[in-house]
Amino acid sequence: MKNSTCLSGRVWWAASLAIVLAAAPLWAGDAAKSVAPDGVMCGIDVLVRDGFKPLAGRKVGLITNHTGLNRFGESTLELIHAAPNVDLVALFSPEHGLKGVLDERVADSTDPLTGLKVFSLYGETRKPTAETLKGVDMLVFDIQDIGTRFYTYISTMGMAMEAAAEAGIPFVVLDRPNPITATRVFGPFADVEGKFTAYHDVPLVHGMTIGELAKMFNVERKINADLVVIEMQGYKRSMWYDETLLTWVDPSPNMRSLTQAALYPAIGMIEACNVSVGRGTDTPFERFGAPWIKERPLAARLNSLGLAGVRFLPYRFTPNASKFKNEECGGVQIVLTDRNAFDPSETGLSIVRELHDLFGDAFEVDKVTRLLFNEGIVNQAKSSKGPTTYTKSWQPKLDAFMARRSEFLLYK
């Protein structure tokens, strides 16, 4: 997709970006030193290596999408379909559908490879029903998450675990890396549970793999499913995705890079508001703006905060889809200068505060709660008179979460 900006804006932005990047840490060099020599084996790789033994003799319902791939790029769907002594009888797809290309409600469909019905878990229902589980005696889950609470794939997993427990059938999770590491954990927490973007009591950035989350959900939500997690091999908690030697596959249409995954918990925080987060441009979640935003004052204010690991460039862009389609927006382009120092929760709430302070009622600040589900924190951002540290507001609960979390961790 081509972004529409004036030529002078492009030249200025390119020059500014070069200056910022010249001072930025060299991630690639650092990452190259810690890449797994033979790469990480995901759960599906381990399952294949072990001859599909946990699935032997089962009639399997597979919950997956285009991210369900082994390290050689072969799809989990095809591998299980071809596996001896395994009968693949049903398919289920999450938000964005089996191919991961839809940004709307997803209808049931038919898989052309197997001829099986694909039951949507982002349409009429978000949980497998007794009807769709007829003839299924095991559910298998293989979808790539991105490590942020309101990214919906983990909620799909939790609700499917509930359905498996109710049906009395085992639930198998083929584990995958947390792309933004399984060590970095940031609040805030939601005030509710059981919502599709706030399924369980975890912070904004949970620092867990899907297998570890499944174990936590099963115990803490008292699901009591017959849960099996096929663990990864060669994985270290501190790994960013580019240290795994796994090929990046866009987990959803607007999640196109590891940088965007790292920025998503901060920028996704304002997505329910009247702000474009770059959908309909070439770098979603690396920019945000609106027709009512004055880009230079906003960038100046955000840069004056000295937020760790990030800089903001004044920018104008015209989305060709989603919010403010075909309308020129003022805003900022975000440059991640040090991903290990970056704090998405502090950054996101600082953006909320500055938008509210600079532009007043033009910014629908209260809609932040639609994804954050924490009215108190949003009110704190609204009432703050200057740069602040929000972390202390949730630190006691974060400490308690870290203790809870430790019981379910699978990797060092």
- DSSP letters for 236-305: -TT--GGGTTPPP--SSTT--SHHHHHHHHHHGGGTTSS-B-STTSSSTTSEEEETT--HHHHHHHHHHT
pLDDT (0 to 100) of residue 36: 60
pTM of the predicted protein model: 0.91
pLDDT (0 to 100) of residue 34: 56
Q: Which 3 state secondary structure label does DSSP give 2? A: coil
Give the position of tokens 């589980």.
133
- Please identify, in words, the CATH class of the domain defined by 7-28+256-373: alpha beta
Query: CA–CA separation, 110 vs 157, rounded Å?
Result: 21
Contact status, residue 158 vs residue 200, Cβ threshold 8 Å: yes
pLDDT (0 to 100) of residue 32: 44
Give the position of tokens 């532009």.
359
pLDDT (0 to 100) of residue 386: 80
CATH superfamily of 43-249: Uncharacterised protein PF07075, DUF1343 (3.40.50.12170)
Alpha helices for 126-247 (secondary structure H): 153-167, 210-220
Q: How many CB atoms lie within 10 A of CB 56?
A: 11
pLDDT (0 to 100) of residue 5: 37
Per-residue pLDDT of the chain (412 residues; tens, 9 = 90+): 334 333 333 333 333 433 333 334 334 444 444 566 789 999 999 999 999 999 999 999 999 999 999 999 999 999 999 999 999 999 999 999 999 999 899 999 999 999 999 999 999 999 999 999 999 999 999 999 999 999 999 999 999 999 999 999 999 999 999 999 999 999 999 999 999 999 999 999 999 999 999 999 999 999 999 999 999 999 999 999 999 999 999 999 999 999 999 999 999 999 999 999 999 999 999 999 999 999 999 999 999 999 999 999 999 999 999 999 999 999 999 999 999 999 999 999 999 999 999 999 999 999 999 999 999 999 999 998 888 899 999 999 999 999 999 999 999 9
Q: How far apart are the first and last CA of the chain?
A: 40
Task: Report strand pairing: 310-317 vs 329-336.
Answer: antiparallel
CA 134 vs. chain centroid, Å, equals: 31
Query: CA–CA separation, 377 vs 383, rounded Å?
Result: 10
Q: What's at 355, amino acid-wise?
A: L
User: Is there a cis peptide before residue 203, judged by omega within 30 degrees of 0?
Assistant: no
Query: CA–CA separation, 10 vs 293, rounded Å?
Result: 18
DSSP secondary structure code for residue 116 in this structure: -
pLDDT (0 to 100) of residue 22: 37
Query: CA–CA separation, 316 vs 314, rounded Å?
Result: 7
Give 119's strand partners.
92
Query: CA–CA separation, 256 vs 16, rounded Å?
Result: 23
Query: CA–CA separation, 361 vs 299, rounded Å?
Result: 19
pLDDT (0 to 100) of residue 1: 39
Q: What's at 12, amino acid-wise?
A: W
Task: Report strand pairing: 87-93 vs 117-120.
Answer: parallel
Contact status, residue 218 vs residue 173, Cβ threshold 8 Å: no
Hey, where are the domains in the chain? 7-28+256-373, 43-249
Burial label, 184 (beta-carbon count in 10 A; 0-12, 13-18, 19+):
buried
Q: Which 3 state secondary structure label does DSSP give 53? A: helix
pLDDT (0 to 100) of residue 278: 98
Closest to 332 in 3D by CA, of 318, 317, 345: 317
pLDDT (0 to 100) of residue 6: 36
Query: CA–CA separation, 292 vs 289, rounded Å?
Result: 8
- Domain 7-28+256-373 and domain 43-249 have a common topology: no
Give 171's strand partners.
139, 227
DSSP secondary structure code for residue 345 in this structure: H
- Rg for the chain (alpha carbons), in Å? 22
Closest to 229 in 3D by CA, of 360, 42, 11: 42
Closest to 354 in 3D by CA, of 332, 370, 376, 371: 332
pLDDT (0 to 100) of residue 38: 81
Angle between helices 210-220 and 391-406 (to 10 degrees): 90
Query: CA–CA separation, 397 vs 360, rounded Å?
Result: 31
| Inter-CA distances, 239 with 11, 33, 39, 216, 409, Å | 35, 11, 11, 21, 15
Contact status, residue 316 vs residue 5, Cβ threshold 8 Å: yes
pLDDT (0 to 100) of residue 40: 97
Give the position of tokens 């769709």.
132
